[in-house]
Structure formats: C-alpha cells, structure tokens
C-alpha cells in the first residue's frame, strides 16, 4: 500500500513514520512537511509544502490511505484562529485532495472529548473536523481519540508535562480511559487503521490506547 502521512514531525507522527517504513505491508510513504525531514529512506517521498496553499494537482496525492497526526495547541499557534487552521482546515484540505485522487481510508489522531457542540474550543475544533471528514465519504474512517499522550516532545508543554507526572503516579488506580496513552501505541492504532481499513466509521477511544 501507499500511505500519506501528515504531521510526520510531531510526537505521534514521528512514531507513525518509523512504523510505516518498517512495515512490509507499506510499499511507499508520502509525507508532506513544511521543512525537509531528516529521515532518508527509499520508500519515503517528502514534498515540502505550505499547508495553507497545498498544490491540488500534485501526483503524490494518489495514495491508498491517509494518516493525519497534524496538530498543535492554541498557545503554540498563537490564537484560536491559527489553531483552527492547523487542526481543522489543513487536515480537511489534505483529506479532500487525497479522496479526490482515490484514497479509500483515512485515520485521524483526534482527541478524547472531540465534539462539534462542545463549549471547550479545543474539543469543538476536533469535533468539527471529525464531522467534516465523515461528509467526505471515505469507505473507511478511523477516529483515534487519545487522552493525555505520553512521550518526549520536541517542544515543552508545561501543563501536559505536569499532568503526565500526576497520571504516571496515579495510573494503576485510574480507569483505563484516564490513563496516559503512549505515542507509540497511538501510532500503531493509526497505522493498523490505514493498512487494514475497516469499512465504515470506527472510533478508537483512550481506554484502547493504554500500555498493557
């Protein structure tokens, strides 16, 4: 299979990229990024793009499946509007272009609490993206909804770091849905959803993303 990955430079996306390149079921990976990746592999195509002006007619849109791990925070984006562009507009534009070229499966790294009707802006944006992806008619759509993601990020997220420390201590006594979701496990769920697509819409919740 030929798989597109957006968000390859992030924590979860980095795990996805390594897993795809190591998986014999995946023949090629297309990973558009804003800056070139350090990874070199014969199976990797790495177009450097401006996500605000994606080329509609590029040949590399022709893939079997798409994995989206693109995302930021309101603080890092600088405003609610900028956050919505990265976490809603850019993934939706990718999904539309890939679907138009024949992609039949889409796997999204969303968030626990994603709900278009939520009063929490972050969850609302995630929910709107899920809603809009459903309308594109992908034969297989997998919505992976992790809670707190475990792993070392390139950038420091203080609140997330503190929450990780607390949940790391309390983890054994917490319900599975509240425990830390390791980035590698989230990535594995996304990869499996792309390479072995399930017909229809499937939701993978945080309780399914806990280390065994």
Which residues does the annotation mark as catalytic? 122, 126
CB neighbours of 18 closer than 8 A, spacing ≥ 6? none
Instruction: Report the alpha-carbon distance of residue 88 to residue 103 in Å, rounded.
Output: 19
Contact assessment for residue 160 and residue 150, using Cβ atoms and an 8 Å cutoff: no
Q: Quote the CA–CA distance of 204 and 74 in Å, as a whole number.
A: 24
Would you state the structure tokens that stand for residue 49, as one six-digit string?
Answer: 């793009």
What is d(CA 161, CA 151) in angstroms, rounded to the nearest whole number? 10
Residue entry with tokens 């795809």: 20
């Amino acid at each position: 299979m030929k798989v597109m990955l957006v968000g390859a430079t992030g924590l979860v996306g980095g795990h996805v990229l390594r897993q795809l390149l190591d998986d014999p079921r995946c023949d090629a990976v297309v990973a558009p990024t804003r800056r070139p990746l350090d990874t070199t592999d014969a199976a990797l195509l790495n177009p450097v793009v401006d996500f605000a002006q994606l080329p509609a007619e590029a040949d590399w849109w022709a893939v079997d499946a798409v994995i989206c791990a693109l995302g930021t925070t309101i603080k890092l984006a600088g405003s609610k509007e900028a956050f919505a562009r990265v976490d809603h507009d850019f993934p939706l534009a990718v999904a539309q272009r890939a679907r138009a070229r024949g992609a039949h499966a889409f796997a999204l790294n969303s968030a626990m609490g994603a709900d278009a009707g939520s009063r929490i802006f972050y969850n609302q944006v995630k929910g709107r993206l899920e809603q809009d992806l459903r309308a594109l008619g992908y034969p297989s759509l997998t919505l992976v909804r992790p809670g707190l993601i475990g792993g070392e990020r390139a950038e420091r997220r203080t609140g997330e770091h503190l929450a990780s420390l607390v949940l790391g201590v309390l983890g054994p006594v917490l319900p599975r849905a509240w425990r830390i979701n390791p980035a590698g496990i989230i990535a594995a769920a996304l990869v499996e959803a792309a390479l072995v697509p399930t017909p229809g819409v499937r939701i993978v919740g945080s309780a399914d993303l806990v280390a065994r």
